[in-house]
Chain A
Amino acid sequence: MTVLGGLCLWIAFLVGIWGALAGFVGGRQGRRDLEQSARHAVFAMSVALWVAVAALEWALFQHDFNVEYVASYTSRNLPIFYTWSALYAGQKGSLLFWASVLSLFGSLAMVLTSRRHRALLPYVAGVVCTVATFFISVMLFGQANPFHRLAYTPLDGSGLNPQLQNPGMVFHPPMLYLGYISITIPFAFAMAALLSKRLDVDWLVAIRKWTLLSWLFLSVGICLGMWWAYVELGWGGYWAWDPVENASLLPWLTMTAFLHSVMVQEKRGMLKKWNLALIIGSWLLSIFGTFITRSGVISSVHSFTQSNVGYFFLFFLIAAATASFTVYGRRLPLLAAETKLESMVSREASFLFNNLLFVGIAFSVLWGTLFPILSELVQGTKVTVGPPFFNQVNIPLGLALLGLTGIGPLIAWRRASLPNLQRQFAVPVTVGVFTALVLLVGGMRDFYALMAIALGAFVAATVVQEFARGTRARHRQYDEPYALALGRLLGRNRRRYGGYIVHTGMVILFIAFAGMAFKTETEATLRPGESTVLKSPYGWTYTFTHLGVSQYDALNRQVTAATLEIARDGKRLGVLTTEKRQHVDGLGRPTFQPSTEVGIRSDLREDLYVVLAGLVNGTEQAVFRFTINPLVWWVWYGGMIVALGGLIVMWPGGTPAVKRTQAGYAVRLVGEGQA
């Protein structure tokens, strides 16, 4: 099977080169035969790559340890679930997975794109083939072939790192990859629009949905990653501003900016240059992210295998950036704005500021991530910045953005009048100020947390007001009962109200993040029967009593579990178990370092988070770290609501596309009339 897999890689490589040539040449010369051939090349490449994936999975399930990849990431005693996910546990498999998914997305784009955008497709095929061929060539020429065989056959594999043996790790990487990879499709459409000079509003329609899809995958992937870090790594938080985390956040920020500014282009014909730059930038950032995670140029606790693969990516990144911005630069004259900004107090202005903030945050994150390299280049000494830097810079910017989340959707296009402002903001502003006062009186003195909650209340009030007004209007106009009116309101204006749901999720996330300002922590060494106390930010006193330690063998690990009794203000709440796991191979010999299984007891207000650091000299005397993390559950809820809102916005149907374009067209005509 590995012979077949290797062969498929070569086929995909050659087909990819042909597809790229046929796509670009066919598109330029308008030759139908070449265009058709490029389209078929995408399909053929996809089939070849998925056969290769099947071949690798086959080798994994057959425990064919003669294959280096199989021996490196699995073992006979690895649960089946994780054997399957070992496909993307290592670099080589990830590259294969990446190329396969890209070719699949490319095929979908070929099939799903409506006739109106047919002229763009040969170029889209060309870009998809180029990018996929790059990934395949890394596998073939960068010593990263997943089908590479060893000179001998080990009896058993090395097994999968225990930290990856977590359900979160089965779903987190593919989601993140899907997000990263699918950015290539909007990028391909953007390049296609630039190359074919079809730079009217049409290309936007083709791009927006794909951007939304990749934004959704990326959002879910980031949230799953936070969840995994929280339950598995045991340091007590979910976000550490590690370079790898930042790398996933960067394209998310620029794509979010795009999803907002694209509305300004649709409605007002402005920001075309900016939008194209955002799409190209997002894609380059996704490649940049792969480069930093794979090359080890930046020290990260996450660093994956360090290898020369990173330099392939650096080369590709530079080449791709040069090529795409050259094309972009040559088409700039075609991207002139159709209208001008009329007033500072308008929706377009608030979206412009929103975009500046998103890009500002992205820039500061990029700067902080690269700072060790930059400072070494400039000063000769490495200087690093850590979480304090990112928090110090991004909390104020994030809060400004949160405020705009409330203002942007409600303020009128073009020029807001005073009555419009009063009508829209009287209630929400009152709610926000009132919340701030209540918190102040309640004794909250953390400025940023207070602002986050007050601004959150303001934004939530704008959303509720919008839903209430829309529902009431339908109720009056169509005589629908309130529940039905609400449902139809959402169903028939998915983009707008789905967007509000995303905003609600973001508000919840911000408030949950603010909760971490009140985190408390203590460490203790306890004999059975001994206890320690920790005060929660809500004023309760928790007592943790060490009950005892048990040790037992599980499928592929030896478990040391400590059980604690928890009481709140003297009242017993229950028991919590926290484990230290030593993974073993088929013969019972230890593999990997011991890993932590955190004991977590969650409710809506706070999480009790207990880590067993170890036993003292093998006795039952155990060392623990106790952490109280307020509002963590709301991070997961907020993430789910964001994803739900994204799904609603994306769901096919709703306002027919034709109507929407006509509406945009009408507005443009009015705008042009005045200009």
Chain B
Amino acid sequence: MNAGTKFAIGAVLIVGSVGYLMASGVKQTGQYFLTPSELSQKIALDPSFYNVGMKVGAHVVPGSVTRDLAARTLRFQVTDGSARYAVLYRGLPPDTFTDSVEVVVEGRLQKDGIIYATNVLAKCGSRYEAVPKA
């Protein structure tokens, strides 16, 4: 067997393991990224969708935020205009979290209709610019 063939085998092994790692990585760690309406459609079609880890990207409903800093819990609602979900997050929200931002909520929707969040990312439309003067 000449070196070229051996190298080709080595290359196939590397490329194969990269491919395998990527495929299994996506399978094991991939999460749905849904809007609230997409989530409510999924739930309506397939009730097993409860208690599945996912990310929900939406706007915080203004005025819906209740912070209990001492207990480190945060309750708020998210919406994309049509569907609306309540979120319960135990932990410290990022600095940029307010009731007027877009958030990505990572967590699981339970039968009680509440998304129990494990992580909340806040995203200003333009994070590196000042908030527009109201």
Interfacial residues, chain A to chain B (CB-CB below 8 A): 72-73, 89-90, 158-159, 161, 163-164, 234-235, 299-306, 340-344, 346, 349, 352-353, 356-357, 360-361, 363-364, 367-368, 371-372, 375, 381-386, 388-390, 392-393, 396-397, 523, 525, 591-596, 611, 613-617, 621, 623, 625
Within 8 Å CB of A73, what residues of B?
A: 129
Assembled-state Cα–Cα distance A305/B127 (Å)? 7
Assembled-state Cα–Cα distance A73/B3 (Å)? 59
Assess whether A525 is in contact with B72, with CB atoms less than 8 Å apart.
yes
A72-B130 contact in complex given A357-B14, A388-B29, A596-B95, C-beta closer than 8 Å: yes
Interface status of B6 (Cβ within 8 A of chain A)? yes
Assess whether A159 is in contact with B130, with CB atoms less than 8 Å apart.
yes
Assess whether A161 is in contact with B130, with CB atoms less than 8 Å apart.
yes
Assess whether A392 is in contact with B25, with CB atoms less than 8 Å apart.
yes
Within 8 Å CB of B34, what residues of A?
A: 381-382
A72-B129 contact in complex given A523-B92, A593-B95, C-beta closer than 8 Å: yes
A386-B96 contact in complex given A344-B3, A592-B130, C-beta closer than 8 Å: no
Assembled-state Cα–Cα distance A278/B6 (Å)? 24
Contact flags (1/0) for B105-134 with A, using CB distance below 8 Å?
000000000000000011101111111010
Assess whether B32 is in contact with A383, with CB atoms less than 8 Å apart.
yes
Assess whether A371 is in contact with B26, with CB atoms less than 8 Å apart.
yes
A386-B69 contact in complex given A161-B128, A523-B92, A594-B95, C-beta closer than 8 Å: no
Within 8 Å CB of A592, what residues of B?
A: 130-131
Within 8 Å CB of B15, what residues of A?
A: 356, 360
Within 8 Å CB of A383, what residues of B?
A: 26, 30-33
Name the residue on B nearest A340 (C-beta). B4
A523-B32 contact in complex given A301-B123, A616-B70, C-beta closer than 8 Å: no
Within 8 Å CB of A302, what residues of B?
A: 127
Within 8 Å CB of B52, what residues of A?
A: none
B87 to chain A, nearest CB (A): 17
Q: Which 6 A-B pairs have the closest CB atoms?
A: A158-B130, A360-B18, A382-B33, A388-B29, A613-B92, A389-B25
Assess whether A305 is in contact with B21, with CB atoms less than 8 Å apart.
no
Assembled-state Cα–Cα distance A396/B16 (Å)? 13
A389-B18 contact in complex given A159-B130, A164-B128, A305-B129, C-beta closer than 8 Å: no
B60 to chain A, nearest CB (A): 13
Assess whether B128 is in contact with A389, with CB atoms less than 8 Å apart.
no
A413 to chain B, nearest CB (A): 13
Contact of B127 among A301, A363, A389, A591 (CB under 8 A): A301
A385-B29 contact in complex given A161-B127, A306-B125, C-beta closer than 8 Å: yes
Name the residue on B nearest A525 (C-beta). B70
Assembled-state Cα–Cα distance A298/B31 (Å)? 15
Size category of the B interface is 35 or more
Within 8 Å CB of A303, what residues of B?
A: 123, 126-127
Assess whether B29 is in contact with A360, with CB atoms less than 8 Å apart.
no
Interface status of B55 (Cβ within 8 A of chain A)? yes
Assess whether A306 is in contact with B29, with CB atoms less than 8 Å apart.
no
**Interface residue ranges of B2-21 to A (CB < 8 Å):** 3-4, 6-7, 10-11, 14-15, 17-18, 21
Within 8 Å CB of A72, what residues of B?
A: 129-130
Within 8 Å CB of B71, what residues of A?
A: 525
Within 8 Å CB of A360, what residues of B?
A: 14-15, 18
Assembled-state Cα–Cα distance A344/B7 (Å)? 6
Assembled-state Cα–Cα distance A161/B124 (Å)? 12
Assembled-state Cα–Cα distance A595/B127 (Å)? 13
Contact of B33 among A352, A384, A625 (CB under 8 A): A384
A472 to chain B, nearest CB (A): 34
22 A–B contact pairs at CB < 8 A?
A: A89-B128, A159-B130, A299-B57, A302-B127, A303-B127, A305-B126, A306-B125, A341-B7, A344-B10, A357-B14, A360-B14, A364-B25, A385-B29, A388-B28, A393-B22, A396-B21, A523-B72, A525-B70, A592-B130, A595-B95, A596-B95, A623-B70
Assess whether B92 is in contact with A364, with CB atoms less than 8 Å apart.
no
Interface status of B91 (Cβ within 8 A of chain A)? yes
Interface status of B24 (Cβ within 8 A of chain A)? yes
A625 to chain B, nearest CB (A): 6
Assembled-state Cα–Cα distance A217/B65 (Å)? 44
Interface status of B40 (Cβ within 8 A of chain A)? no
Assess whether B69 is in contact with A364, with CB atoms less than 8 Å apart.
no
A305-B129, A591-B131 known; 15 new pairs, CB 8 Å cut-off, are A235-B94, A305-B126, A352-B7, A353-B11, A353-B14, A363-B18, A364-B21, A368-B22, A384-B55, A385-B26, A385-B31, A388-B29, A392-B29, A593-B131, A613-B72
